[in-house]
Amino acid sequence: MSRDRVGALILLVFFVAYGYVSTKITLLPFQLNQAFTARTAPQFLTVAGIVLALFLLVKPGDPRPVDTKGMTFTRIALLCGLMIFYGFTVRFLGFLIATNIFLIGGFWVMGERRLLVMLGASLPVVVGFWLLMTQALDVFVAPWPDFLS
């Protein structure tokens, strides 16, 4: 399938779902008869989106198929996993520990294996950044886990 068609199909599914959810927007009784309600713009956008997506699906401009040759999806998946993990740990472990784990993990995923390089590129940057935020810009960032502070 051409890349335009794949894209159009993905967007079409999104637009249909968006349109469905737009029918669930709660309106108060006095708002129902107004010319412009909270549903008006979403429903107009749904119709416009579906029409255009169908048009692209029927008449794709770019006939080339999706080209994923030589692409490293495993790394992307691991990096995304790391980011999600960071989201869960930045509060729980505190900024300093969570960020160092994230950066060192990131270097490792990207192919770096030298521990000294990884620590050297992570520790000073994280500590320096934390000092900049807390001391220079006066933004409080919890450095350690709650049970240590």
Partner 1 sequence: MLEGIWSGVTVAAQPINLLMVMVGCFAGTFIGMLPGLGPISAIALMIPITYGFDPATGLILMAGVYYGAIFGGSTSSILINAPGVAGTVATSFDGYPMAKAGNAGKALAIAAYSSFSGGTIAAIFLLIAAPALARVSLSFQSTDYFALMVLGLTAVAAFAGKGNLIKALLMTILGLMLSTVGTDQAQGVPRFTLGMLDLIDGISFLLLAMATFALSEALMAVLRPKSPEDQKKELEAQKNLGSMKLSKDEVKEMAPVVGRSSVLGFFVGVLPGAGATIASFLAYGIEQRIAGPIKGKLFGKGSIRGLSAPETANNAASSGSFVPLLTLGIPGSGTTAIMLGALLSYGVQPGPRLFIDNPEVFWSVIISMYIGNVILLILNLPLIPYIARVLALPAAVLVPYILFFSLIGVYFVSFNTFDIHLMVIFAVAAVVLRLLDFPMAPMLLGFILGGMMEENLRRALIISNDSWAFMWERPLTASILAIAILILFVPILTPQLGKLKRKADEKAAEGG
Which residues lie near partner 1 (CB under 8 A)?
A: 3-4, 6-8, 10-11, 14-15, 18, 21-22, 25-28, 31, 34-38, 41-42, 45, 48-49, 52-53, 55-56, 61-62, 66, 68, 70-73, 75-76, 79-80, 82-84, 86-88, 90-91, 99, 102-103, 105-107, 109-112, 121, 125, 129, 133, 137-139, 141
Pull the structure tokens for residue 42.
């979403």
Q: How far is the CB of 119 from partner 1 (least distance, A)?
A: 12
Pull the structure tokens for residue 109.
């995923």
Q: Is the dihedral of CA 30, 35, 36, 37 positive or negative?
A: positive
Any long-range contacts for 97-101 (C-beta under 8 Å, 24+ apart)? Answer: 97/144, 97/145, 99/126, 99/129, 100/126
Of the candidates 119, 143, 115, the one whose C-alpha atom is nearest the C-alpha of residue 129 is 143
Q: How far is the CB of 130 from partner 1 (least distance, A)?
A: 10
Output 38 or 148, the one with its CB closest to partner 1.
38
Judge whether 115 and 146 are in contact, CB under 8 Å: no
Output 72 or 135, the one with its CB closest to partner 1.
72
Output 10 or 148, the one with its CB closest to partner 1.
10
